[in-house]
Amino acid sequence: MTREFDPGYRGRFRSLVLSYPGESVYPADSFRVEWGPIFHRGRTDGSARVLVIGQDPAAHETITRRILVGEAGQRAQGFLARLGITRSYVFVNTFLYSVYGQGGGARHIGDPGITRYRNRWIDAIVKGQQVEAIITLGQLADQAYQAWRATPTGASSQAAYITIKHPTYPESASASGSITKAEAFLRLCRSWNEGLDALHGVVTPDVPVPLRHYGSTITPEDLAPIPDVDLPPGLPAWMGDLDAWAARTGVDAQHKRATITVTVPTRFRTWPVL
């Protein structure tokens, strides 16, 4: 069996993962620091032409040690595919650790230690590299970009910039009851279509594709699996596929914080049924 895999951190990125901030910078009342930091997904070899800034890692990301690999990541992967970008990308998050509790991210978006380390990552990706576009997913990611943009390296960047709604916007927006999930999906699709209009033909595609807009919602056909080359060696193939296989479980908030249940999807269970 031959499968590609992420070769790991080298050069300037090795020094970044050797010196990541801990609980003194990311307070445990607002971040799940006990699960460790999740740094990136995609190319760190200088070949990335698109940088995507997300928000924070969720359950699937905690297991795979790469960001945006659950359904949100598969939606974002599908968006990049509509630009013809199938490999030349890199994802980083606004926060190294999963946000815990309501408003934790908003309270700490401007914290100096968090901002400095995040800016070092963006610098490492952009400085002297061929990044043609930067995409942020949601308001906190946009704030993270604006903080970097105010730095000397950020100010000198010539990369095109767009901000679009976060892939989980339909679920988070409709949870409050102020908007239906159908309307939230429609708003997401409109935002993403505007992003496609802005970047199609601006970024150099890996595979040239015609401009194709989303409809009124995200369908299973709009998702794209996570490529093996984005993931550490040895992960089972189903961890990059389209099934949901990880969830926080427990009888209360503390148990859910401490527990992630991983379930092999039914269609990948090849053993005999007794």
Predicted pLDDT of residue 129? 85
Predicted pLDDT of residue 111? 98
Predicted pLDDT of residue 139? 97
Predicted pLDDT of residue 128? 82
Round to whole Å and give the CA distance between 16 and 20: 6
Domain ranges of the chain: 24-219+230-262
For residue 51, what are the β-bridge partners?
90, 134
Nearest CA to 131 out of 92, 168, 79, 100 is that of 92
Would you write out the chain's pLDDT as a tens digit for each of its 274 residues?
A: 788 999 999 999 999 999 999 999 999 999 999 999 999 999 999 999 999 999 999 999 999 999 999 999 999 999 999 999 999 999 999 999 999 988 899 999 999 999 999 999 999 999 988 999 999 999 999 999 999 999 999 999 999 999 999 999 999 999 988 899 999 999 999 999 999 999 999 999 999 999 999 999 999 999 999 999 999 999 999 999 888 999 999 999 999 999 999 999 999 999 987 6
Return the residue matching tokens 């992420």.
Answer: 6
Predicted pLDDT of residue 273? 74
Tell me yes or no: is domain 24-219+230-262 CATH 3.40.470. yes
| pTM for the model | 0.96
Predicted pLDDT of residue 43? 97
Would you say the C-alpha torsion 55, 199, 174, 139 has a positive or negative sign?
A: positive
Round to whole Å and give the CA distance between 41 and 52: 10
**At a CB cut-off of 8 Å and minimum separation 6, what does 195 contact?**
79, 135, 162, 164
For residue 136, what are the β-bridge partners?
53, 163
Would you tell me how many other CB atoms lie within 10 Å of the CB of residue 5? 14
